[in-house]
Amino acid sequence: MALFKFIVKSPSPFGGAGLIIVTFGIVLIVKGLYYSNNHVTRRSYGNVQKNLSNFILKDISDDVQINHTSLPINVRRHEEHATTSFLSVCDLDFKTLKGREKMALTSQSLIALESMFPESHAGGRFQPNGCRSKHRIAIIIPFRDREIHLKIYLSNVIPKLRRQKVDFTIYVVEQAPGSHFNRGMMRNIGFAEARKIADYDCFIFNDVDSIFEDDRNLFQCGTDNSVRHLVTGVDVFDYKLKYSILVGGIIAFTPEQFRRVNGYSNFFFDWGAEDDDIYYRIQRAKMQIERPDTNSTIGFMSTLKHKRDPEVKYRFDILYSRNNETSHKDGINSLKYTVKVISHKKLFTWIYVAVNEEEVLQGLDAGIRRKIAAYRLKTKT
Ligand code: UD2
Ligand code: MN
């Protein structure tokens, strides 16, 4: 109001020029607001939007009915085969792929994204058109409070995977409040829950902020002894890997490989080391890491910016306290959690879970547990 009066009362001879400057200013403000709502720059968002579960429940269409979840998996596989066996196996024509693309930072509402991908089936399953994919893939995304990242992820990744003609289903595993974030547990829970829903040949763990750039980087698992890490370079590390044993971002395991390493450790609450830990698990299980060709840019990955969580205090104590080898009793075989919601949305299956941090940490060496407890008490975190 005050601004308006100023414009009206502005005395000449500066009135004309003042009006132009103010109008220009208003245009800039309006443009800025438009961009902050619709376009996201790499630096403009941090750990935004609390209560993400509310957002998922609001900004999205209702559940899609899945009518056969009570059937045992082998019966479902058989039924599935009966409905698709007349189709020939997909033959990927590399000419239809686009190669390396820049990540688009446009953030759309989930409802808008749903209408962009009408071909999705219940729970975020996508099947290739007119052919049968040899593999069925579950993509597991550990998740909490990264709403914008999820939207950017879906809009960038789905079209690339459609071009790869893979049969994939996206699982978003969200950790409910009440415990520190645990990336490893969310991935383990995604594995355990997705297996109850369908018989997948390959599990790809993909962080919500990690977007593969090149559609020639095929979403598939390695063979028997090779766990496939789909990343050879990360934008923020000058398109290199920060260190050679890095297996973060996007990694693919067959169910058998994941079982052999007993999944991720459940002990890492907050940021860091759960990925280094699984590297050592892979090594101990005498498996290798395979990656896309390091002489090309095919394995390059873009990341989204965010504030980093507090580091897991004493993570190296946990990581290196393995003289008496604990991974065989810490992982998918010791996983405890409570499912609050499983909901088959159009673009993904949403699994909302609670974990009891104190109970999980009971499995840790008593000395480290005491150190962590003292640290939490001191820092009130
Ligand atoms: C690195 C690794 C990542 C992971 C982490 C160590 C790469 C490229 N990435 O990423 O794989 O091992 O270090 O823990 O090496 N998340 C949420 N909400 C949160 C926190 C995390 O949804 O509040 C999820 C989300 O999917 C995120 C992922 O966990 O992308 C990894 O966490 P991060 O992005 O905080 O870790 P970052 O970028 O350091
Ligand atoms: Mn990240």
The span from the CA of 248 to the CA of 171, in Å, is 18
Protein residues with CB under 6 Å of any ligand 1 atom = 141-146, 181, 183, 207-210, 234, 246, 248-249, 271-272, 274-275, 308-309
Burial status of residue 343 (CB atoms within 10 A of its CB: 0-12, 13-18, 19 or more): middle
Residue 48 reports pLDDT greater than 60: no
**Which of ligand 1's atoms lies nearest the C-alpha of 308?**
35
Q: Percent of the chain having pLDDT more than 90? A: 64
Please state, in angstroms and rounded to a whole number, the distance separating the CA atoms of residues 279 and 176: 27
CA of 234 to the centre of ligand 1 (A): 13
Q: Using CA atoms, how far apart are residues 179 and 308, in angstroms rounded to an integer? A: 17
CA of 47 to the centre of ligand 2 (A): 11
Which stretch of DSSP H or E encloses residue 172? strand 167-175
Query: What is the reported pLDDT for 11?
Result: 39
pLDDT over threshold 90, residue 73: no
Average per-residue pLDDT for the chain: 84
pLDDT tier, 10 (very low <50, low <70, confident <90, very high otherwise): very low
**Given ligand 1 and candidates 175, 207, 300, which is best to mutate, with the most ligand atoms within 8 Å of its CB?**
207
Query: Distance from the CA of 207 to the center of ligand 1, in angstroms?
Result: 6
The reported pLDDT for the residue numbered 47 is 36
* CA gap 90, 233 in Å, rounded: 29
Of all atoms in ligand 1, which is nearest to the CA of residue 247? 15
Ligand nearest to the CA of 301: 1
Distance in Å, CA 6 to ligand 1 centroid: 50
pLDDT per position as a tens digit, 339-361: 999 999 999 999 999 999 999 99
* Phi, psi dihedral angles at 125 (to 5 degrees): -95, 135
Residue 17 above 90 pLDDT?
no
Strongest mean pLDDT among 110-114, 267-271, 287-291: 287-291
Nearest to 275 by CA among 305, 253, 297, 298: 253
Q: Taking a C-beta distance cutoff of 8 angstroms, is the pair 361, 369 a contact?
A: yes
Ligand 1 atom nearest to CA at 246:
15
**Ligand 1 atom at shortest distance from the alpha carbon of 141:** 26
Interval between CA 195 and ligand 1 midpoint (Å) = 23
Which atom of ligand 1 has the smallest separation from the CA of 312? 14
- Which long-range contacts does 64-67 make (Cβ < 8 Å, 24+ apart)? 64/121, 64/122, 64/123, 64/344, 64/345, 64/346, 65/122, 65/344, 66/122, 66/123, 66/197, 66/344
From atom 15 of ligand 1, which residue's Cα is the shortest distance away? Answer: 248
